[in-house]
Amino acid sequence: MESVVPSDKGNYTCVMENQYGSINHTHQLDVVAMAPQWAHPEKMEKKLHAVPASKTVKFRCQASGNPNPTLKWYKNGREFKRDHRIGGFKPVHYEGRCVSDLISTLDHHHPLPWSKKHFLQVKSGSKCHI
The CATH code of the domain at 34-124 is: 2.60.40.10
Between 130 and 7, the more confident residue is 7
Phi, psi at 83, each rounded to 5°: -85, 5
Task: Decide if pLDDT at 29 tops 60.
Answer: yes
Question: Which are the contacts of 18, defined by CB distance < 8 A and separation ≥ 6?
Answer: none
Listed by start position, the domains of the chain span 34-124
Query: How do residues 103-126 score in pLDDT, each as one tens digit?
Result: 444 443 344 444 444 444 545 444
pTM of structure: 0.45
Which runs of E-coded beta strand occur in the chain? 10-18, 21-29, 34-38, 56-66, 69-75, 78-79, 89-94, 97-105, 118-124
**Residue 23: band (very low, low, confident or very high) from pLDDT cuts 50, 70, 90:** very high
Task: Find the mean pLDDT for residues 28-33.
Answer: 87
Among 61, 130, 125, 127, residue whose Cα is nearest residue 99: 61
pLDDT at 28 (0 to 100): 95
